[in-house]
A and B are shown apart, each in its own frame.
Chain A
Amino acid sequence: MIKSVLHTKVLPALLGGTSRHPLSADLIHPSGVTSDGMLEMLSLLGQALHFTRPLSPDSFTVEPEIKDERTILDAALRRPLVRLLTGKNATDHPARALARAFDRHRLRPHPFDLPLIDGFVRSHAEQLGTTAQHWADRQKPEAETRSYFDPDLLDESNWVHPRLSRRVAFLQQRRHEDADAARALLESNWPNEEAEARFRLLETLQTRLSASDQTFFGTLEKDRAPRVRALAAKFLSRLGAGTGNPSLQACLERIKLSQSGLLRKRTVLQLELPANVKDQAASRWILQTFGEVTLNELARAFHFTENDLIEASAKDDSLLLALALIATNDRRLDLLERVVENVPNTWQRMFESGLDTLGTTTERERQRWAEIIVQPYRKDLPTAFALWDWLHRVMDESAPASVMSMLMKSNFLKRLPDRERSSPPWLELLASICPAQQRSDLRAQLAEFEPSQSGNATALLEILDGMEKNRTHAKES
């Protein structure tokens, strides 16, 4: 029987049912007396269909060409990386450390590993290169994706193309070098920026704020994004222009000014917390209330210098916490250091406040910030996992070498409660924040633990070392 007959006559009958579409008698050839031939037709047609080659689609999708200048992770590191990131016990600290290392060394995961580490790629796409960003965006509509361009060197001609965090870093660097040129650069592309980008790029102008920026900030008072309008108003207020910072008034209403001292009268500032804000919630309330105020504004409101402001607040821990948060926000680490001298537990209070970002600070500033808040604990480092966990999340950097030395020398792991000492999250966290030059020391301490406890931490250190070598080899070749 020819194939066309099977397809044109038998197939419709079997699809619709032979009771409604009977097969014509001339088609049926029973194999025996007990057979009516229908099942033979079923087998014959089935086999003919088996031999029909699958149809090719009319057209195939043209895959986008993605230019990724980063070096692919060394093959030897691929499997340990996947194992570490997909292990059922893995915490997100190694993932953060790895994402930073990918970014710092200009490396990217192997494209074939992207499906295996999908969660990691989605969480840290910006740090993993354009191929990974394309992977993370693959479900998004085309309109929501941007061009994937991540050159090794950025300049004023190409700075608008890469991912936002690189653009922010570039603009920040330009602002340090030439404040007016950086502002002009931002102004030139301002209409094309999305709300999130406008806000984050505008934040960079906080550095070297000057009267020459005033005109630009004035044009932003009618920006569509409320966050951008508020930030511009804040900057104008700092420059002594504009309508003033509305948050400042709310802060001033809560600060009580008085005089103290018998021989020498000193001004004392005291923060009065609302009656419904209890101890546990105080830190959070302080962050919410003082989050939009600058030290400069606050000092000017009391006709103080910034140093005087700290001195006048020295007896009030809550107000000092507010000043510590403001100093962090303003990147005034010199003032933060002074505040911490008066409030040694600033670290814990900041943790309680719910501070979750250090804004547009540089890597060095973040490390210095951590150094300042950890320093008072040098003789008795806290053993609460939540504090270290928070520190790593907020800083999103490796710990300063001095902090890591404190950890190593204090036999920190031995001081932990028995139950926690050998828990993988602690060891993973320490490996994640360990600076490169101290990895060998940490490795020696980890050797005292069972492989099942220290396995992930040791693997992370090895991968991080391997990534450094990977980058060095790539540069040499």
Chain B
Amino acid sequence: MPFTLDRIEALAPDQASLAAARKLLKPAFWPTLAEGEGLIWGECQGSGATPYRVAVSEADAGYKCTCPSRKFPCKHTLALMWMRADRSATFAPAPVPEWVKDWLSRRRGTSSSPGKPKEDSKPKTQPSIRLTDKAETEVTDPKAEQRAAAARERNRLDREAAVLAGLDDLDIWLADQCQHGMANFVAQAAQSCRTISQRLVDAKAPGLAGRLDALPTRLFTLPGPVRPTAAIRELGQIHLICQAYRRAAHIPELLAADARQAMGWSITREALLSDSDGLRADAIWRVFAVISEAQPDRLRRVETWLWRANGTDQLLSCAVLIDFVPLAGGAATSGYVVGDEVDAELCFYRSTIPLRAQIATLKKGATQSSEPFNLPAEPLGVSYAQYEDALGTLPWLGAFPLAFCSATLRRSGNRLFLHDDQNKLSLPLTSSQSDEALPLASVDHIDGIGLWNGYEFTLAWAETPLGRWLRT
């Protein structure tokens, strides 16, 4: 059944959704618009780090969007249907991509009255496309702008003071932990970290609070005997962040920016993209890992790791797009899937080790590629040395990509190790991969890439004589 504006009005959850959808009707927002086998799909660059992927079944108006909106259908879905209904954009015929096929295979099937909401769920007034025609004019008042800017500056100063006071409390807490001993800390980490992280939230240092809140979980994923030393490493890093933040004026500017980010000072997408000094890289990127992790603050952190498929820039060869979505109802994974190829210009956050980025310009939609991965021909030991260099530059470095060639996966007891025989280096694989990566233990050699967090290696991609292996 083709889409009509009446049908879209019937589907829309409210008038605001239709108004928001209207703003997305420009084809420029949609690097991909395609159709095939009774389905239409597209990619829309929204406020998230990765574009949202939308697929719609024309027959029964079934839909799927990767955005975290809790309105169903969301504005992206409505916009896609709308463009289809009024033929304002061209949908290129294309084979159905894997992500759409995945969605189809998980669909429950059609409802009894496809494309029509239930009577009781209808709003009292039917949303109308005609009403969205009214031009929205924004009236700007210069004086109000000035007042708002002054208020923002006051808030910033207040927050600076609150953060510094919070760090003083944190120092006392850290000293207490040292006095009681790390073996004791591990036993009471959950309660102890919860208390101090709440105080840091009050002190407006959410980044550091989150790091402390997640610490017990991180410790408990490690084998028991190493937990106390891991606690020393983590608490030591936290103290380093505090010190770097306090001495921002005396340390390199980029390191100070890292400390501010670690503290929780956020940079809006608009501010990042408008920074003319920011590092940018225009290239074709391959998605090699998508890591989704629930945080204690009821948000899901979704990391989409990209590897540069062309060019030779050593510094900007890897990037990570980070999205935060609500745990309840939000998408569990990135819009991109491992293996996607993205032609885009990325804008990197200011950092001594620039990894986190946002998509500044998306040249075209992502496509699945079966091309071999463009990995550097270096053994694991060399990549690990690069990690150590990076750790020297940024002491609180988080997950770091390690690309390698000619490694083997070996088993010792129930644990798997990525082994570089040449450099006598063995990195333990994360315990959650002990099953999924086990088949690689029977392969002679593997080239690949993964993420090292200082304790465990998460293997993400491997090229082997038996073919390609991807983390699930």
Contacts and interface: CB of A to CB of B under 8 A. Distances in A.
Contacts of A72: 466
Interface in A91-122: 110-112, 114-116, 118
A8 to B, nearest CB: 14
Contacts of A60: 410-412, 417, 419
Interface in A21-68: 31, 36, 38-40, 42-47, 49-51, 53-57, 59-61, 63, 66
A452 B110 contact: yes
A56 B408 CA distance: 13
A116 B437 CA distance: 11
A39 B391 contact: no
Interface residues of A, number: 59
A75 interface: yes
Given A54-B426, A79-B98, 5 more contacts: A14-B232, A18-B179, A39-B178, A49-B236, A112-B468
B240 A17 contact: no
A88 interface: yes
Contacts of A49: 229, 232-233, 236
Contacts of B440: 112
A459 interface: yes
B57 A42 contact: no
Contact of A115 (B175, B237, B439): B439
What are the 8 closest A-B residue pairs judged by CB atoms, nearest first?
A: A46-B236, A17-B181, A57-B412, A56-B426, A60-B410, A111-B439, A43-B236, A115-B436
B439 A112 contact: yes
A195 B229 CA distance: 53
Given A43-B239, A46-B234, A112-B439, A18 B178 contact: yes
Nearest to A450: B59
A141 interface: no
A140 interface: no
Contacts of B6: none
A422 B442 CA distance: 44
A75 B180 CA distance: 57
A38 B98 contact: no
B62 interface: yes
B109 A44 contact: no
Contact of B232 (A45, A83, A451, A455): A45
A20 interface: yes
A450 B417 contact: no
A456 interface: yes
A11 B226 CA distance: 13
A455 B107 CA distance: 10
Interface string A287-300: 00000000000000
Contacts of A114: 439
A56 B424 contact: yes
Contact of B237 (A31, A40, A43, A455): A43
A359 interface: no
A371 to B, nearest CB: 33
B191 interface: no
Nearest to A115: B436
A80 to B, nearest CB: 8
A424 B107 CA distance: 11
Interface in B414-458: 415, 417, 419, 424-428, 435-436, 438-442, 454
A429 to B, nearest CB: 16
B469 interface: yes
Interface in B160-184: 171, 174-175, 178-184
Contact of B175 (A15, A36, A45, A112): A36
Given A18-B178, A19-B179, A83-B105, A39 B438 contact: no
Nearest to B388: A51
A138 interface: yes
Interface residues of B, number: 67
Given A44-B236, A47-B240, A450-B60, A39 B175 contact: yes
B468 to A, nearest CB: 8
Contact of A452 (B107, B237, B384, B411): B107
Interface string B182-222: 11100000000000000000000000000000000000000
Contacts of B179: 17-19
B171 A39 contact: yes
Contacts of B436: 115-116
B243 interface: yes
Contacts of B60: 450, 452
Contact of A111 (B243, B384, B388, B466): B466
Nearest to B96: A451
Contact of A17 (B101, B180, B428, B442): B180
A110 B466 contact: yes
27 contacts: A14-B232, A15-B181, A16-B181, A17-B179, A17-B183, A39-B174, A42-B178, A45-B232, A45-B236, A46-B240, A49-B229, A50-B391, A53-B384, A54-B428, A57-B412, A57-B417, A61-B411, A83-B102, A89-B108, A112-B439, A112-B468, A114-B439, A138-B438, A450-B38, A450-B109, A451-B57, A452-B62
B10 interface: no
Interface in A382-403: none
A453 interface: yes
A87 interface: yes
A84 interface: yes
B472 interface: yes
A296 to B, nearest CB: 51
Contacts of B411: 60-61, 63
Contacts of B110: 422, 450, 452-453
A87 B410 CA distance: 31
Contacts of B175: 36, 38-39
Given A115-B435, A451-B104, A453-B110, A110 B467 contact: yes
A119 to B, nearest CB: 13
B412 A451 contact: no
A75 B370 CA distance: 11
B39 interface: yes
Nearest to A452: B107
Interface in A419-437: 422-424
A60 B428 CA distance: 12
B272 interface: no
A49 B227 CA distance: 12
A42 B440 CA distance: 39
B89 interface: no
> Which residue, B102, B107, B236, B391, has most C-beta atoms of chain A within 10 A?
B236
A19 B440 CA distance: 48
A327 to B, nearest CB: 41
Given A11-B232, A43-B239, A50 B454 contact: yes
